[in-house]
A = this chain, B = another copy of it.
């Protein structure tokens, strides 16, 4: 292998830059050239490809976002688009790929490598932590810490005013961010997509709290919850308790950015390092994953399956600990 290319795709996640750095430095250490592809598959199609050296990745390990930028590409969903992309890679003499992204990235890879032959290794990067084949995907740790930091601030106001806040966090159709940020902030209720929302028990708890003059302060809602997000929950509560002081707040995109936590930087470094070494050893069409703290490999076709079940006992625990 003489030259590999690296790209990021899908939503950006903290730790992507640390992974890029690891890929570039590990490749160069092994006398392999590295090219960067800008804006994911779309940049691949357009040939937005440039050579990188060790200094290209100086001073980026601590930065959020991705220096390679990211984008969605409708064109790549067509065989013609993928053909163009492959031709660009050939033109740039790329004979190995490292793909950093979420399940959409690996779906794309699966289609691509069904048609064209090129060794590739993936690295899971999405704050939603919803990729099969790995216990962890880059960005989750940082995203939960960011959500917790925000909810801690909101709680100051909630307590000062005896006000209830419905806080919506990210995670698409997965409840990991909601569950973990909810427990960490002592939320009185946590609504996740993995469990049908039992609104009666929420209303009952509010009713009990009112009786003993304490108000439920914080309810954390996953954006993918079946009940419909923070505004819907707020509306429903007001329907039953019209005089409660309740606010909905959507944390939004602050959860994607920011300097990665040590954990995201270290795992990104390990995964980037492993990705290149895996390619060099001749293994490909796999995603690097983390299982019980160890680096493992999972074939691309398994990396696109659904996410692991949520630990429902932790939801139960959260209620007991916030009572």
Contact = CB atoms under 8 A, between A and B. Distances in A.
Interface in A104-139: 135
Counted per complex, copies of this chain come to 4
The CB with the most chain B CB atoms within 10 A, among A159, A255, A314, is that of A159
Looking at chain A's contact residues, is the secondary structure mostly helix, strand, loop, or mixed? helix
B183 A269 contact: yes
A26 interface: yes
A246 interface: no
A257 interface: yes
A39 B184 CA distance: 26
Q: Say which size band chain A's interface belongs to.
A: 35 or more
B135 A270 contact: no
Contact of A257 (B66, B154, B183): B154
Contacts of A184: 61, 262, 265-266, 269
A165 B253 contact: yes
A297 B242 CA distance: 42
A14 B153 CA distance: 10
Contacts of A29: 320, 323
B253 A152 contact: no
A144 B262 contact: yes
A256 to B, nearest CB: 5
A66 B186 CA distance: 17
Contacts of A299: none
Nearest to A12: B160
Which 5 residue pairs are nearest across A and B when measured between Cβ atoms? A156-B257, A153-B257, A65-B156, A64-B156, A12-B160
Given A148-B262, A180-B266, 17 more contacts: A8-B160, A11-B157, A12-B157, A39-B162, A61-B185, A64-B153, A64-B156, A65-B156, A65-B159, A152-B258, A153-B258, A157-B253, A157-B257, A183-B266, A247-B253, A250-B250, A269-B321
15 contacts: A11-B157, A12-B156, A12-B160, A54-B323, A61-B184, A62-B185, A65-B156, A66-B160, A69-B159, A70-B161, A148-B265, A153-B256, A251-B254, A273-B320, A292-B292
